């Protein structure tokens, strides 16, 4: 115990003996600027006639220590308590950034077969879409070619050409299936926006004998 507190305790015991015969209560607070005991508080209570004996209780408290001293008929009983504080350190979990896989990018094929031999437009895109491959083109072309009624053939062609894309070579072969120049021009209007390489189809204006229709086709394919 700190020597300063010891001195305070002795003084308090001496004071208690002076008031031993009286029914009195004494509170004493002592502030000590010490590294081991930063403060001390003394509470003295004197009572009489406890089991026929006079009793003095002295409580000393300072820092993290607590001491209760009871003096009864000249006998001193001491009770020492130590107050402790428990501090728990919670482990800190580091939050790692979530890894999101990047969306796969469709690679451009090194070679595609569109059923039109060496076709430069076969590996080109328009609106992000490739032209018909060889299997799709073969089925589409044979379906149109086998149809004898040109009006029905036109309806089939226009319905299909609004859904698929085609190369300039495929486009030229479709135009050759229509003998009527007016019908041919109507089919060209529907198909032109889906030709992946329209610059290669500029020469098809010669498929119209009527110069007005040929000029109109040029306007359509260059839009």
DSSP per-residue letters across 60-101: EEETTEEEEEEEETTEEEEEEEE-------PPPPPPPPPP-P
Q: What is the mean pLDDT of residues 125-147?
A: 96
* Contact yes or no for 144/153 (Cβ under 8 A): yes
According to DSSP, residue 129 is labeled B
**Residue-level pLDDT at 111:** 78
* Burial readout 5-32 (b: 16 or more C-beta within 10 A, e: otherwise): beebbeebeebbeeebeeeeebeeebeb
C-alpha distances in Å from residue 88, one per residue of 48, 85, 91, 208: 47, 10, 10, 91
**And the tokens for 13?**
């015991």
CA distance linking residue 164 with residue 173, whole number of Å: 15
Confidence of residue 213 (pLDDT cuts 50, 70, 90): very high
Tens of pLDDT, residues 56-71: 555 555 555 555 555 5
- 98-107, 186-195, 213-222: least confidently modelled range: 98-107
Q: What share of the chain is helix, strand, coil (3-state, %, to 5)?
A: 40, 20, 40
Confidence of residue 179 (pLDDT cuts 50, 70, 90): very high
**And the tokens for 143?**
């379906």
Name the nearest CA neighbour of 133 among 146, 121, 147. 121
* Contact yes or no for 154/186 (Cβ under 8 A): yes
Q: What is the mean pLDDT of residues 206-222?
A: 96
Q: What is the mean pLDDT of residues 42-55?
A: 55
What is the pTM (predicted TM-score) of this model?
0.53
Q: Is the pLDDT of residue 107 over 60?
A: no
Percent share of the chain, pLDDT over 70: 51
Q: Is the pLDDT of residue 114 over 70?
A: yes
User: For the chain, what are the domain ranges?
Assistant: 3-82, 120-221
Range among 46-50, 55-59, 105-109, 211-215 with highest mean pLDDT value: 211-215
């Amino acid at each position: 115990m700190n020597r300063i507190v010891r001195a305070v305790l002795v003084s308090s015991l001496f004071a208690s003996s002076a008031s031993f015969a009286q029914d009195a209560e004494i509170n004493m607070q002592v502030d000590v600027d010490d590294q081991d005991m930063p403060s001390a508080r003394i509470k003295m209570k004197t009572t009489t006639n406890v089991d026929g004996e006079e009793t003095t209780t002295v409580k000393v408290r300072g820092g993290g220590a607590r001491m209760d001293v009871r003096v009864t008929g000249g006998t001193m009983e001491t009770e020492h308590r130590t107050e402790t504080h428990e501090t728990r350190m919670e482990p800190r979990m580091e939050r790692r950034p979530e890894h999101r896989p990047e969306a796969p990018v469709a690679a451009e094929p090194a070679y595609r077969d569109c059923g039109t031999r060496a076709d430069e437009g076969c590996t080109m895109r328009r609106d992000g879409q490739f032209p018909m491959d060889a299997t799709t083109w073969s089925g589409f072309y044979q379906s149109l070619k086998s149809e004898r009624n040109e009006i029905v053939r036109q309806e089939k062609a226009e319905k299909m050409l609004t859904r698929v894309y085609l190369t300039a070579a495929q486009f030229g072969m479709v135009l050759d299936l229509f003998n009527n120049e007016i019908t041919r021009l109507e089919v060209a209007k529907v198909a032109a926006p889906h030709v992946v390489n329209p610059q290669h189809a500029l020469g098809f204006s010669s498929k119209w004998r009527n110069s007005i229709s040929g000029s109109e086709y040029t306007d359509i394919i260059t839009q």
